[in-house]
């Protein structure tokens, strides 16, 4: 594998804008032996959601609303440190950011249209209940001598 693998699609033709991503690297905890103490493998990816031009306005508003609890001054931050190589952590962070934005910009689900239970079904259920109660009443054993 060579270089960063291309643009990370969010949805449709919209992808994460490489130019608007801010990367920061720091030492990661976790596996890695002695090497881990000297290499910056943890990745922090920051994306300025409030000032981006890459997303359609509607999507941007939707994302700002839905991710409000995760934003700091309109900036969305994703961390990745599960891999031992910085490159794989960069991939993981970018994929995670794209997935977050895809979920946050998705259109709201269609409102549910209430439906009524067909009469035949409720009648059948009541018939079965009556039958069951008859069966059970027949077991009470007060007529047995």
How is residue 99 written in tokens?
């997935």
How is residue 89 written in tokens?
């952590």
- Residue 30, pLDDT score: 63
CA distance 85 to 32: 9
CA distance 33 to 47: 31
- Residue 62, pLDDT score: 81
CA distance 58 to 55: 8
Strand ranges inside 7-104, DSSP E: 9-11, 14-15, 21-26, 42-48, 71-72, 75-80
- Residue 97, pLDDT score: 85
- Residue 124, pLDDT score: 96
Q: 3-state class of 68 per DSSP?
A: helix
Output the pTM of the full model. Answer: 0.60
Residue 1: which residues within 8 A CB-CB, separation 6 or more?
87
Q: Give the strands of the sheet with 71-72, arranged side by side.
A: 21-26, 42-48, 75-80, 71-72
- Residue 132, pLDDT score: 95
- Residue 92, pLDDT score: 87
Q: What is the pLDDT along the chain (145 residues), one digit of tens a residue?
A: 444 455 677 776 777 777 777 888 887 766 666 666 677 778 888 888 777 777 777 888 888 788 778 777 878 888 888 887 888 888 888 888 888 888 877 888 899 999 999 999 999 999 999 999 999 988 887 665 6
HEC states along 11-34?
Answer: ECCEECCHHHEEEEEECCCCCCHH
């Amino acid at each position: 594998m060579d270089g960063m693998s291309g643009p990370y699609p969010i949805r449709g033709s919209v992808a994460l804008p490489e130019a608007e991503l801010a990367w920061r690297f720091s030492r990661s905890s976790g596996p890695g032996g002695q090497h881990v103490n000297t290499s910056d493998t943890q990745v922090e990816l920051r994306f300025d959601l409030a000032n981006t031009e890459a997303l359609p306005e509607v999507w941007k508003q939707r994302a700002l609303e839905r991710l409000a609890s995760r934003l700091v001054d309109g900036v969305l931050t994703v961390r990745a440190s599960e891999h031992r190589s910085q490159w794989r952590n960069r991939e993981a962070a970018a994929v995670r950011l794209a997935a977050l934005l895809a979920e946050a910009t998705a259109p709201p689900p269609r409102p549910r249209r209430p439906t009524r239970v067909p009469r035949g079904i409720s009648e059948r259920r009541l018939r079965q209940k009556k039958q069951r109660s008859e069966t059970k009443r027949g077991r009470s054993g007060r007529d047995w001598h």
